[in-house]
Amino acid sequence: MLRFYCISLSLCLFIACKKTSDRPKPINGNRGVIAEHAMVVSARSEASKIGVDILKKGGNAFDAMIATELALAVSYPYAGNLGGGGFMVYRKANGDIGSIDYREKAPLAASKNMYLDEKGNIIPEKSTLGAMAIGVPGTIAGVFEVHDKLGSLPIATILKPVITLAYKGVVVSQKQENRIKHYQSSFRKANKDSIVFDFNWETGDTITYTALAKTLERISKNGRDEFYKGETAKILAKFIQNNGGMISEADLSKYEAKWRDPITFSYDDLKIISMGPPSSGGVCLAQILKMLEPFPLDEYGHNTVKTIQAITEAERRAYADRSFYLGDPDFVEIPIKTLISDSYLSGRMSNFSFEKATLSEDVSHGNIKIIESMETTHYSIVDQFGNAIAATTTLNGAYGSKLYCAELGFFLNNEMDDFSSKPGVPNMFGLIGAEANSIAPEKRMLSSMTPTIVEKNGQLYMTLGTPGGATIITSVLQTILNVHEFDMTMQNAVNAPRFHHQWLPDHILMEPNSFDRSVITQLENLGYKINEGESIILGKVDGILVLEDNSYEGGADYRGDDTAIGF
Ligand code: GLY
């Protein structure tokens, strides 16, 4: 079979231009897919359909969550996974809320300086590429925990269509072809042998996943422990160690997913329910929205100078706090109540003026800079009983560590890079973290994943989330504001151009060719640096909005192959 050659810069630029000109115009009134009873929105139509079929069989949102999560592992190996982890927030029809953390953990043999050389410098690629980058995977523990507590159908019924899909195969989309081409040199670098993605796949080809199907069959038959204590655990630990990694059978057998209290707060007449630490998502989202609450954004208008200024300044201050205070709550004390309190947050905005940009160097904790991988995937589900979930799952980077276990049929994450390898000093990506997120055995690395559910007047209103590394939080934020402040439909809220500020680097990242030139010029005149070059897209938001007649509108992001399916 033919091998691909590295994608050229000019092709990358061509793709970038094409994507932005493909952007659908957000026209108020344009609605996404509407469904009367239930809906699933995810990164691939195959996964959304499998989730919806489980609902049609009488399953609930939690059964559909398990089916969709694992169907994404088959159909969207870029971020869907068995070798990674994630977070889910839920709201049951009776109003009960909760969240589960199935985030990866550092292995038992991990140590604070494991990515540093003898001079104390970061060793390039050690935390991003290959077996040393892998955290102990949490996805299978997460879905079984959800099943035990909240599921209704037998696990074999839920996994059957996923296994069938893996045997039958998945058709390569144009976007997938581009992604596979783009990462092929990294696949070759990370793997000793050629892997299934190392071939000349073209749009319309079908990739079958027989090894993954067999792994899922064993899990379906033997349950959660197959992955953590059974044959799969033995194969996985041996494979990782043969490739120079440190995850052992003991690491796998000790892994547990954890139920956590979600972060809840109000914004105007909305109640927001989002993920708490070890994700920074809920705390940051709360900080930004609470800082914005006094500003009449609806009067300023969508993506106007004043709106962008207010949001940017709130983001700058929230991200300044993020890495300093946040980490794994099982290891560090986090002052969550204070961080999201009105008194603390009104003080944070007291030095903001519309006359001039605040400089990030003038905002405290000025040595923390966040640049994270932009990958991950999100799906949202509402069932016919009124239960809702928002789940975000990841391998961290695109295809994770790029290390692919052919015998088991899946990629392994590179989540260890979400730790701060050297607190206070930038790593190879410019990431500077704080002590709160330093590496320790069995610790969970800080995340930005922000699966979020919104209530209005005590009723379910919206469920949403997105991939995008550090930009996840600000994409979720803007989508909520687009619906609530700017009266957009779910689909238009998802489609609308996005921007992002994360304190450092001190610039506003904007989706290119998407904002008014005059707005950009005015922002520059006020002292803001605009960067339209570094990001082709910001996030791929998938959300569901409850309409006045109690039907559901799905917003599936055009930036990916994302699809809403309902009935
Ligand atoms: N790995 C991306 C995140 O957890 O935010």
pLDDT at residue 3 greater than cutoff 50 = no
Q: Which atom of ligand 1 is nearest the CA belonging to 417? A: 1
Give the Cα separation of 542 and 51 in Å (integer): 14
Averaged pLDDT for residues 506-530: 95
Per-residue model confidence (pLDDT) at position 536:
77
Q: Which of 104, 274, 394, 412 best tests ligand 1's pocket when mutated (most atoms within 8 Å of CB)? A: 394
Range scoring the smallest mean pLDDT among 20-24, 326-330, 339-343: 20-24
pLDDT confidence band for 324 (50 / 70 / 90)? confident
Band (pLDDT 50/70/90 cuts) for residue 422 is confident
- Counting every residue written for the chain, the total comes to 567
Question: What average pLDDT does this structure show over 139-152?
Answer: 98
At a CB cut-off of 8 Å and minimum separation 6, what does 222 contact?
A: 230
Please tell me the predicted confidence (pLDDT) of residue 369.
41
pLDDT tens-place string over residues 57-67: 999 999 999 99
**Minimum-distance ligand 1 atom for the alpha carbon of 372:** 2
For residue 418, report the distance from its CA to the centre of ligand 1, in Å. Answer: 7
Rounded distance, CA 419 to CA 422, Å?
9
- Residue 369 is given by DSSP the state B
pLDDT attached to residue 535:
62
Q: What is the pLDDT of residue 29?
A: 65
- Residue 23, pLDDT score: 53
Tell me the CA–centroid distance for residue 521 and ligand 1, in Å. 33
CA of 180 to the centre of ligand 1 (A): 21
The CA 68 to ligand 1 mean position distance, Å, reads 19
pLDDT digits (tens, 9 = 90+) for 369-401: 444 456 799 999 999 999 999 999 999 999 999
Strand order in the sheet with 388-394: 258-260, 97-102, 85-91, 388-394, 377-382, 39-42, 563-566
Where does ligand 1 bind, in terms of residues with CB under 6 Å? 372-373, 376, 394, 396, 418, 447-449, 469
Cα(350) to ligand 1 centroid in Å equals 31
Q: Return the best residue to mutate from 105, 418, 452 for the ligand 1 pocket (most ligand atoms within 8 A of CB).
A: 418
- Of 215, 312, 376, 377, the active-site residue reads 376
| CA-based end-to-end distance of the chain | 42
pLDDT digits (tens, 9 = 90+) for 218-261: 999 999 999 999 999 999 999 999 999 999 999 999 999 999 99
Q: Give the percent of the chain with pLDDT over 90.
A: 82
Question: Residue 424 has what pLDDT?
Answer: 60
pLDDT, residue 11, reads 30
How many angstroms separate the CA atoms of 407 and 69, rounded? Answer: 21
At residue 370, the pLDDT reads 43
Please provide the average confidence, as pLDDT, over all residues in the chain: 91
Exposure string of 207-235, with b = 16+ CB inside 10 Å and e = fewer, is: bebebbbbbbbebbeebbbbbbbbebbee
471 catalytic, yes or no? no
Edge-first strand listing for the sheet containing 459-465? 33-35, 552-556, 542-546, 459-465, 452-456, 270-274, 263-267
pLDDT band at 30 (very low <50, low <70, confident <90, very high): confident
Which residues contact residue 318 at a Cβ distance below 8 angstroms, ignoring those fewer than 6 apart? 284, 287, 288, 291, 473
Return the pLDDT at 289: 98
543 C-alpha vs ligand 1 centroid, how far in Å? 19
Tell me, what's the pLDDT at 4? Answer: 29
Distance (angstroms) between ligand 1 centre and the Cα of 420 equals 13
Tell whether the model's pLDDT for residue 25 goes beyond 60: no
Question: Is 70 exceeded by the pLDDT of residue 214?
Answer: yes
Please state the atom number of ligand 1 nearest to the C-alpha of residue 418.
1
Q: State yes or no: pLDDT of 362 exceeds 80.
A: no
Substitution site in 448, 466, 474, 540 for ligand 1 pocket (most atoms within 8 Å of beta carbon): 448
Q: Which atom of ligand 1 is nearest to the CA of 446?
A: 4
> What's the 261 CA to ligand 1 centre distance in angstroms?
19
Q: What is the pLDDT of residue 366?
A: 33
Q: What is the pLDDT of residues 168-201, one digit of tens each?
A: 999 999 999 999 999 999 999 999 999 999 999 9
- What's the pLDDT score for residue 427? 40
Running DSSP on this structure, what letter comes out for residue 385?
Answer: T
For atom 4 of ligand 1, the residue with the nearest CA is: 447
Q: In a mutational test of the pocket of ligand 1, which residue from 322, 374, 449, 474 has the highest number of ligand atoms less than 8 Å from its CB? A: 449
Whether pLDDT at 299 is above 70: yes
> Which pLDDT score, from 0 to 100, does residue 288 have?
98
Nearest atom within ligand 1 for CA of residue 397: 1
Average pLDDT on 480-489 reads 97
Please give the number of the atom of ligand 1 that sits closest to the Cα of 449: 5
Banded model confidence at residue 544, pLDDT cuts 50, 70, 90: very high
